[in-house]
Structure 1
Amino acid sequence: MSLDTNSKAKAGSGWGETAKIIVQALAIAMVVRVFFFQPFNIPSGSMKSTLLIGDYLFVSKLAYGYSRFSFPFSPNLFSGRIFGGEPKRGDVAVFRLPQDESLDYIKRVVGLPGDQVQMREGVLYINGQAVPKVYKDEFANIECDPYFRHCRRVVYKRYEETLPDGGPTYTVLDLEPEGEFDTTEVFTVPAGQYFMMGDNRDNSSDSRASVGFVPFENLIGRAEIIFFSAAIDEPDAMRWFSPWTWPFDIRWSRFFNLVR
């Protein structure tokens, strides 16, 4: 009888320790997510070919400090930012859309406060100086409409841009030689705000149009690294009911790529 009692006590102790470990692990994961790194996924092609639909990445909240948008449900506890570090020109940043603060967007920081930004015939100008744009290659992509199951092969011209003042070099896509936003007015970026653009220049809703300038407070963090990627926008990826095909839909080569 005593042996059975001891066995039950040990079993109960074991389950208690397991539950304690699980609770501690969840608490640590929550702290990391809220204060340090938050996972995001890419739902649209506005940042191709830097980021693809189906990429999952970690965003550093430490990079820009904290605003109310840094926390779940965006509690209106304070205004502005604390421990704020200003973004650099060329950062790929996640932010809350000024017109709808329930939506997260991801774009590249192109214009800093006080900059003048303009597009002229597909060339980016910052403070009156053309940003070097060099043809690199063609970027072919299968693009699908998941609702109508219609897919087509789209070929872009891919260029390398290098931002001024020691900024990064990255790739941009050009689909139409005279796209809707290839030539714009001159935008003067107000104090405390930023001008954001997608790398897929003919298929990006950004500061050239509906997004407008993005306040510093709306920034959530800087995209750092891709930790998972699946080709959910390609025709072979429309196989949700055949799990044995899923390993072939994973883009293994994109794992742990730094976002630049």
Structure 2
Amino acid sequence: MKKLFAIAITGILMTSCVSNKKYAELEDKYQSTQDQLKTAEMQLSACEDEKKSLRTSYESQIKTLQNTNAALINTTGDIATISKKGAENLERSLESMKEKDLQIKTMRDAINKKDSVTLALVTSLKGALNDINDEDIQISVEKGVVFVSISDKLLFGSGQYKVTQEARNVLAKVAKVVNDKKDFEFMVEGHTDTQPISRTNIEDNWDLSTKRATSVVRILQEEYNVDPTRMTAAGRGEYIPVASNETAEGRAKNRRTRIVVLPKLDQFFGMIEEGMKEAK
């Protein structure tokens, strides 16, 4: 995913209408949230390991106390009692286990919530777009990120960046879903094949892909009231193909516009931090 953003930024430095500063901020924010997610997963694993260790220690103390109890019964015939020190150690172990259980539950709840929000988004998108040809629109999820890929033939005329009327109907449905899902922000990416293009108002494939991305973003903002602060436009040119450019069929697959929907991970990690504070 980091490589995807790096290539996007290189293209934008050449022709994208999005400022270098905004792209740098977007990349930094994405990298930061990815690092936080990795840290949270490592903390979750460490908590589970520590819980396992505490349980082993707890079971060992129980066994020792049972053996002591048996020895006392055998030697004195009296009912054995747990020593004060043993009882204190056991109490501390139990308390520590409870804290780790709470931390683990908090992390799992946060991760489950994020997954649930992503699943709800995918379900809404598929429901809204279920009457569109599957070859023209594909919805997928990779590492918690939702991708909506729309074919070139549905959105634009050949070598053009003006959105077709049919595509506006599709964008209206996408806009309705994203307007209802405030926990996401997204990037619209334009992609081309390797066929060179040079027209009066289009310099090359970088230029074409960028103009297509900004055309989609502009319609979402101006016609369907999508908050512009949640959107980024990016031209990816010919450099992220999904098929071979050696065939007409492969080139058609590569000519696409992709909407990358990113969960607002700062909210997700805020929930984890609050839960960790409560566990202390």
The answer to which structure has the higher strand fraction is 1
Q: TM-score, normalised by structure 1?
A: 0.31
Work out which of the two has the higher radius of gyration on C-alpha atoms and give 1 or 2: 2
Question: Could you say which structure has the higher helix fraction?
Answer: 2
Q: TM-score, normalised by structure 2?
A: 0.30
